[in-house]
Amino acid sequence: MLDRFRALATRVFTPLAKLLLSWGVSPDTVTVLGTLGVCVGALGFYPNHHFLAGTLIIAVFVFSDTLDGIMARAAGKSSSWGAFLDSTLDRIGDAAIFGGLLLYYAKVQNHLMVNLTLACLVLGMLVSYARARAEGLGMTANVGIAERADRLVAVLVATGLVGMGVPEVLLTVVLAVLAVASLVTVVQRIVFVRRQALRPAA
């Protein structure tokens, strides 16, 4: 499903990518601006319970994660630096989203939501770290039931719906599921890497 979405997004954003390149805008600039937009939407709106407005702003800027890649490929500028910058700023954006929710629920003293949001934030980072560390050691860890895109779509949809008046229990359930799924993914990646590390050399 996500693969089909990426193919559609590529077709939709390719004209815009070419236009921006013709104006001299670099893929790195789009990456940075996209992350700043996500941070503004999350940290500027979520702590004040403007869930719908924050989600709409985040959704607009999240598309930069697709746009910058299309631009890099179109310009023949795909590089290790671009991949590193994109992945690093993705983590910042994710932290801002969950951090914005955490700030709101801390302010209203909803301890359950604080704990769930914190769990999603920490475990989400561990999911990414496990894969990055494995690849740094020459192994792979691209397994698990909770990839970043899945987590991001789930929390944004749930938060936006709550902002539209849907009962908050929806977001509670989604955060609980994401926390458990992230924990399972971390364990899956640890087991997967352990099997590679203990595999007899050929």
CB count within 10 Å of CB 119 equals 18
Handedness of CA 24, 27, 29, 33 (dihedral sign): positive
Q: What is the C-alpha separation between 39 and 61, in angstroms, rounded?
A: 9
The residue ranges of DSSP E strands in the chain, in sequence order, are none
Output the CA–CA distances (angstroms, integers) from residue 170 to 14, 34, 70, 199, in the order listed: 35, 27, 34, 43
How far is the C-alpha of 20 from the C-alpha of 158, rounded, in Å? Answer: 32
Considering 28, 65, 86, 90, which one is annotated as catalytic? 90
Q: How far apart are CA 9 and CA 25, in angstroms?
A: 19
Does the active-site annotation cover 90?
Answer: yes
Residue with tokens 């458990």: 180
- The conformation of residue 26, written as its DSSP 8-state character, comes to -
- Residues recognised as catalytic: 90
